[in-house]
Amino acid sequence: MMQDTFPILGVDHVRFYVNNARQSAYFYHHMLGFDISGFSGLETGNKTEAEFLLQQNGLNFVFSAPIVPDHPIGHLIGKHGDFVRDIAFSVEDVEWSFNTAVERGAKPCMEPFTLEDENGKVEIAAIHTYGDTLHSFINRSGYAGVWQPGFVARDIPGSSIGVYEVDHCVGNVELGEMDTWVKWYEDVLGFKLFLSFDDKDISTEYTALMSKVMASGNSRIKFPINEPAEGRKKSQIDEYLEFFGGAGVQHVALRTDDICMTVGEMRKRGIDFLYVPKTYYDELPERVGEIDEDVEELAKLGVLVDRDDEGYLLQLFTKPITDRPTLFYEIIERHGAKGFGKGNFKALFESIEREQEIRGTL
Ligand code: FE2
């Protein structure tokens, strides 16, 4: 067992900065089945932001929006559009985590502080990672109220689509910056290189990218980091960097144990997925061998399959859920496989390129 030099219990929450948290909350509630379970805003004494807490099977998403002019969140979304601001880690010792990360070279964002009310306390600190993205360190084990002091309960149950955990979270960084951030995750957070893909793995006639997957000491958290590679035309990573205005989170992959139900529900509710050509399924049985699922049903839903030494996985990608071609979701079901669907890359990228062509950004 390798030594874990930076203990992280898991992803505590994903925080989004958005223009209108109320409307984002309803999108995630209706389209992705989250419960709307907490709120902070004018009515609770928060004079500058509106915040909604959405939950589903242990997943916590928080949406924060500015409600006054010239708010710092407003400036950031002016640049990026709605975006993932923070992938927050649950830790036992917030102060140790923050101090250690900063000693190891992280740029501090928020010094450790404690929020307290009659329900207990929550400890928080935050560091910067790539672009305008943060990693907060949170300990809410001493808190019995709704989320954190300043929040009140909202009880609007969603109709779950079966997702329950962040499988991985992908960052896009600028050309030449991938190894800088690989080293940052190694040095600062004690992550290890888990997998890497070069442009020979991930290239099509037109575009290419490189990717290295970093995993936390306990392997519970995986962060692939992408950078564009030279291709004949503009890669999907270049397109992202241009529209986003720099490095940022490209997709969040959510785990399910029943991808056919999850994808079927999402399609019914109006989520668009990348198109998978019917021909993909002709070669499927030969490529992946025996699987539990019915290939015809997978084909109907457009679900992708890949196999590695340890098993297989099922996955599918939404189209961007923001107006800008930036943030999208992956739905993933693992049957032993620990990879990321390398065998699907080519089919996928050709599908993304079809979308880029329609957007006129290829
Ligand atoms: Fe992914």
Domain locations in the chain as residue ranges: 10-156, 163-359
pLDDT value of position 276? 86
pLDDT at residue 200 greater than cutoff 80: no
**Ligand 1 centre distance from Cα of residue 329 (Å):** 8
The answer to whether domain 10-156 and domain 163-359 are alike in fold is yes
pLDDT at residue 328 greater than cutoff 60: yes
CA atoms of 52 and 29, how far apart (whole Å): 11
pLDDT at residue 1 greater than cutoff 70: no
Question: Percent of the chain having pLDDT more than 70?
Answer: 98
Q: Could you give the dihedral angle defined by the CA atoms of residues 150, 114, 139 and 329, in that order, rounded to the nearest 10 degrees? A: 50
Superfamily for the 163-359 domain:
2,3-Dihydroxybiphenyl 1,2-Dioxygenase, domain 1 (3.10.180.10)
Q: How far is CA 242 from CA 48, 139, 238, 245, in A?
A: 30, 36, 6, 5
- Condensed to tens digits (0 to 9), the pLDDT of residues 63-91 reads 999 999 999 999 999 999 999 999 999 99
- Condensed to tens digits (0 to 9), the pLDDT of residues 28-50 reads 999 999 999 999 999 999 999 99
- Condensed to tens digits (0 to 9), the pLDDT of residues 220-275 reads 999 999 999 877 678 889 999 999 999 999 999 999 999 999 999 999 999 999 98
pLDDT at residue 206 greater than cutoff 70: no
**Ligand 1 centre distance from Cα of residue 170 (Å):** 6
Q: Which of 344 and 297 is assigned the larger pLDDT? A: 297
User: Cα 236 from chain centroid?
Assistant: 17
Are the C-beta atoms of residues 329 and 294 closer than 8 Å to each other? no
**Ligand 1 centre distance from Cα of residue 165 (Å):** 13
pLDDT at residue 100 greater than cutoff 80: yes
**Ligand 1 centre distance from Cα of residue 312 (Å):** 15
- Give domain 10-156's CATH number out of 3.10.180.10, 2.40.40.20, 3.40.50.1000, 3.30.470.20: 3.10.180.10
